[in-house]
Amino acid sequence: MKFEDIPFPCKYSTKFRLRIYYTLPKLEYAAVVYLNIKSNYIVPVRIHSSCLTGDIFHSLKCDCNEQLTTALKYIAYNNMGMVIYLPQEGRGIGLVNKIKAYKLQNEGLNTFEANSFLKLPIDARDYSICPAILQDFNIRKIELITNNPHKFKALHDSTMISFIKYKRMHVEPNKYNSKYLKDKHSLFSKL
């Protein structure tokens, strides 16, 4: 896996770096890294899947932007950490299918029922690249910033990670995403 790396000042800290990994066929993954990472520390890490509607356009239908912002602020506050940004729009189903699912949600289905109706997986994301990115920075102990047990399990099962703990996130619901967040919490609490 190859990469390009640059200093990446952002509104939360001027000490971030941006590293873009790429593989063949053309897949690109991003890691926003706070420069102060030390391998023997427990490093805050957020694995974040792309969300055009939330991350870029600040949609109120999801909590993606709030999760990303909270993670970046937490990392800056702790003076170390990483956000791994994966190209997995709509929990891995792609942007067009995500919008089709949104249409069905507007008709009363929840996000998981909509995916099932479209004959799509509830969650098609793949986190297998994440341990290699962490290993690239010699990170073996992490504090995973997530509410998703799939992410925790994917990294917990990796032989490259020697220690992992949960850092749950809290995002205040709004009238547009409260049902979605409740449905998501209900599903993930059963896993």
Among all residues, which ones are annotated catalytic?
Answer: 123, 125
Strand ranges across the sheet with 81-86:
2-7, 16-23, 27-34, 81-86, 43-49, 141-145, 163-167
CA angle 28, 5, 154 (to 5 degrees): 50
Q: Where are the alpha helices (DSSP H) in 7-88?
A: 64-78
Sign of CA dihedral 72, 75, 80, 81: negative
